[in-house]
Amino acid sequence: MNSFNILIESNVSDAEMIAAKKSGTVRNSKLCCPHCQQETPMTMIRGDRKSENKSTAYGLRMWENDDLIPRPDDVLQERLYCIRWVETYIDGKGKVKTKRYYRAPDTKDMEREIRVLELLKERFVDWQDKGYIPSRKIEEGAETTRLSRERGWTYWHQIFNPRQLLTLGLFVEISGDQTKESIEHIENLLEVGRLADLKGVGARLLLWNTHSSKEMHANVFLNQALNVPANHCHRTLFAVKTTREKSSTVDLRNIVSIFPKDARQVNLRCDFWITDPPYSDAVNYHELTEFFLAWYEKHILKLFPDWYADTKRALAITGKDSHFRESMSECYRNLANNMPEDGMQVVMFTHQDASVWADLAIILWASGLRVTAAWCIATETDSALKAGNYVQGTVLLILRKQTSDETAFLDEIYPKVELEVKRQLDEMLRLEDKEEPNFGDTDYQLAAYAAALRVLTQYKTIEDIDIQYELSKVRKKGDKSPIVEIIDNAVKIACDYLVPANFDSFIWKSITPEERFYLKGLDIESHGEYRSSVYQELARGFGLKDYKFCLETSKANENRLKTASEFANKNLGDLGFGSSLTRTALYAIREVVTSEDAQKGKMLLRSEVRDYWQQRRLIIEILKYLGTMEYKIPHWDKDAKAATLLAGAVDNDSV
């Protein structure tokens, strides 16, 4: 089999680094030959094909239980190609410093890899039998099937390479032999899960995080999915030593009951219930749990004879259909029945889809509960690892039993929702720290969802809404319930209410939704926000179906809007944004940048803007706002300076 040797080079120039990023061997799910640059889709490399019944037949060989590494004739192979270590030293000023070293493996390193595999094979059968390493088969599912589709792995132990299995297996064996009490055994087992996912040994799913200034690995579940990277990393045995932290524990055995049980079958009476329910189809918890259960299952049945070691997939509450709504309603109704009249529930919920929030409103309403308060708190730290569509906050909903007999009409609900959304946003804005913001725009939209739920659930009934019908209704694509429309309207209210800093609120109401999207988008970008989900939510809030023409790039975590110069004359004069005052102002800014003459930009505005003199105040406001981007967004430097010069020219214009 032909292959390339991999050379590891250090201290390369910026130009070499940029070139290396452009000539990577895996780009956009395609394999790129480093010699001829020809790209081949990974599906073709794997041999995927359409079967006679039009379904996809995956081409990789499915691994058997005793497969620990790829066989020589497998399509996909793997090898150790780089070793990194860190040297700690004290510099001339007495400060502790570190230096990183990188090199390709030599013959001795490869011999050690062979020895690791030999040691694992000697113990493999015995360790699987005793539960020191997983023996569980991977079931098919939305997340789990990709493991076999993309790599051919069919057992959970195969997502770990031999060195990782040997390290984790030794940890389980030794810690089990030294454990005297079951509580210590449980602590050690939990530590195995942590080592496999986050701080220690990891798995073949462990991604190398080049975005971090420290340049280290991410964790397996960096985005609640079973991603299979083209290259994975792992830490050495020393990682286990640095991870284990002994902390004092409180014995809760006499005051706490812990048991795995379906919420629909709970019969324990409590004053308070705290729940973190499934988020529709956003995260497949029932599948991801098996990553950890593969390590725990044989030990659970010994330590907790009354428990089960199954994920109970068939009982998982998932999807966006009537089954999800009805099952969730059964759970919360049962918890409400096992709560006193003055009891309370706390529900932690995060989702960006208005229809899912509408489902939650229906679920809580049908369960005899009402939302009495809500807070949005930051639960995700800023990180370059948060690739994809993520919100920074989680909404905490406070629920009490429904005791009202009030009835409302739909036309009464809308103005009440508007007042409640504004009140919620005002509270958050009062708490906001301008220097170090606590909330992002997506969090304000989440707060709008919660505010709508507070209004909706305070009534026993709402005319024109049959709660049982909405609960069991099978919705077709594009169908919108009255509740979805109310929640959508709440987000629009929030978008209109949150005027960008340094922009006149009266003028803000007079510009088009497309203009508001662009100008608010710049405000978001100035806060370092590049997630596509934020722009999607913003577009939804302003009622826009298409906004891609405003984007310079739509790559994950790199979304940003076009500058005036990048727009050039694109979309100029088109319906919507293309014929708006903001778009014309951007074109005039580009003219100033090109000609280095603010008067030419002013004359362009005079000729292109109908009712120029009546619109002058609005033009100046837009230009001044764009000028503030000079100190907020680095790539706006030239255009922002031009906007400021042009604003001055228009302001001093006279007949």
How confident is the model over 4-38, as pLDDT tens digits? 788 888 888 888 887 777 776 887 778 888 778 88
Q: Is residue 142 in some structural domain?
A: yes
The mean pLDDT value for 357-379 works out to: 84
The set of residues, in sequence order, having a beta carbon less than 8 Å from that of 21 and lying 6+ positions away, is none
Q: Which of 170, 162, 291 lies closest to 240, judged by CA? A: 170
Domain-ending residue, one of 498, 529, 561:
498
Q: How far apart are CA 589 and CA 578, in angstroms?
A: 15
Answer whether residue 240 shows pLDDT above 70.
no
pLDDT at position 199 is: 62
Q: Is residue 572 in some structural domain?
A: yes
Answer whether residue 192 shows pLDDT above 70.
yes
How sure is the predictor about 388, in pLDDT bands with cuts at 50, 70 and 90? very low
Q: How far apart are CA 558 and CA 531, in angstroms?
A: 7
Domain-ending residue, one of 447, 477, 498:
498
The mean pLDDT value for 96-111 works out to: 92
Under 8 Å between Cβ of 581 and 623? no
Q: Percent of the chain beyond pLDDT 90?
A: 37
Q: Cα torsion at 532, 538, 544, 550 (round to 10°)?
A: -50
Answer whether residue 432 shows pLDDT above 90.
no
Comparing 319 with 426, the larger pLDDT belongs to 426
Q: Is residue 84 in some structural domain?
A: no
What separation in angstroms does the CA of 589 have from each of 527, 564, 592?
A: 23, 6, 5
Dihedral sign of CA atoms 419, 420, 421, 424 in order: positive
Are residue 165 and residue 242 in the same domain, yes or no? yes
How sure is the predictor about 643, in pLDDT bands with cuts at 50, 70 and 90? very high
Under 8 Å between Cβ of 391 and 350? yes
Helix or strand holding residue 235 (H, E) = none
Under 8 Å between Cβ of 298 and 130? yes
- Min mean pLDDT across 125-139, 174-188, 609-623 is at 174-188
The set of residues, in sequence order, having a beta carbon less than 8 Å from that of 270 and lying 6+ positions away, is 338, 339, 343
Are residue 472 and residue 542 in the same domain, yes or no? no
Concatenated DSSP letters of 18-80: HHHHHT-SEETTEEE-TTT--EEEHHHHHT-EE-TTSPEEP-SPPPPTT--S--TT-SS----
- Average pLDDT, rounded, for the chain: 85
How confident is the model over 460-497, as pLDDT tens digits? 888 878 888 888 887 777 777 888 888 888 888 888 88
Answer whether residue 384 shows pLDDT above 50.
no
Are residue 456 and residue 596 in the same domain, yes or no? no
What separation in angstroms does the CA of 109 have from each of 82, 103, 134, 163, 432?
A: 10, 11, 27, 13, 54
Q: Is residue 427 in some structural domain?
A: yes
Q: How far apart are CA 175 and CA 243, in angstroms?
A: 14
Are residue 325 and residue 313 in the same domain, yes or no? no
% helix / strand / coil in the chain, to the nearest 5? Answer: 45, 10, 40
Comparing 45 with 255, the larger pLDDT belongs to 45
The mean pLDDT value for 308-327 works out to: 84
pLDDT at position 139 is: 93
- Domain ranges, residue 429: 320-498
The mean pLDDT value for 208-235 works out to: 77
Are residue 265 and residue 148 in the same domain, yes or no? yes
Q: In the structure encoding, which two tokens stand for residue 72, read together?
A: 């020589």
How confident is the model over 110-153, as pLDDT tens digits? 999 999 999 999 999 999 999 999 999 999 998 899 999 999 99
Are residue 538 and residue 616 in the same domain, yes or no? yes
Q: Is residue 93 in some structural domain?
A: no
The mean pLDDT value for 563-581 works out to: 90
How sure is the predictor about 517, in pLDDT bands with cuts at 50, 70 and 90? very high
pLDDT at position 249 is: 56
Under 8 Å between Cβ of 359 and 290? no
Under 8 Å between Cβ of 199 and 176? no
Are residue 383 and residue 464 in the same domain, yes or no? yes
pLDDT at position 389 is: 39
Q: Is residue 174 in some structural domain?
A: yes
**In this structure, which amino acid lies at residue 127?**
W
Comparing 511 with 528, the larger pLDDT belongs to 511
Are residue 521 and residue 628 in the same domain, yes or no? yes
DSSP state of 535: H
| Structural domain count, the chain | 4
Dihedral sign of CA atoms 497, 498, 500, 501 in order: positive
Q: Is residue 120 in some structural domain?
A: no
pLDDT at position 241 is: 63
Under 8 Å between Cβ of 156 and 136? yes
The mean pLDDT value for 50-68 works out to: 87
Q: Is residue 65 in some structural domain?
A: no
Are residue 260 and residue 372 in the same domain, yes or no? no
DSSP state of 248: -
pLDDT at position 381 is: 46
Burial (CB < 10 A; 0-12, 13-18, 19+), residue 469, is exposed
Are residue 208 and residue 332 in the same domain, yes or no? no
Q: Is the pTM value of this prediction over 0.85?
A: no
Domain-ending residue, one of 476, 498, 520:
498
Q: Percent of the chain beyond pLDDT 70?
A: 91
Comparing 134 with 610, the larger pLDDT belongs to 134
Q: Cα torsion at 25, 30, 35, 36 (round to 10°)?
A: -160
Q: How far apart are CA 171 and CA 163, in angstroms?
A: 12
- Judged by DSSP in three states, 399 sits in strand
Q: In the structure encoding, which two tokens stand for residue 478, read together?
A: 């594009």
Lookup result for tokens 């089960």: 308
Are residue 615 and residue 484 in the same domain, yes or no? no
How confident is the model over 246-292, as pLDDT tens digits? 555 556 556 677 888 899 999 999 999 999 888 777 788 888 899 99
The mean pLDDT value for 598-622 works out to: 93
Answer whether residue 58 shows pLDDT above 70.
yes
pLDDT at position 253 is: 58
Helix or strand holding residue 395 (H, E) = strand 393-401
- Provide the 10 A C-beta neighbour count for residue 128: 19
pLDDT at position 436 is: 66
Angle (nearest 5°) at CA 175 between 292 and 227: 25
Are residue 517 and residue 404 in the same domain, yes or no? no
- Min mean pLDDT across 180-184, 326-330, 391-395 is at 391-395
**Alpha helix positions (H), 91-137:** 107-130
- Min mean pLDDT across 63-72, 178-187, 613-622 is at 178-187
Comparing 198 with 293, the larger pLDDT belongs to 293
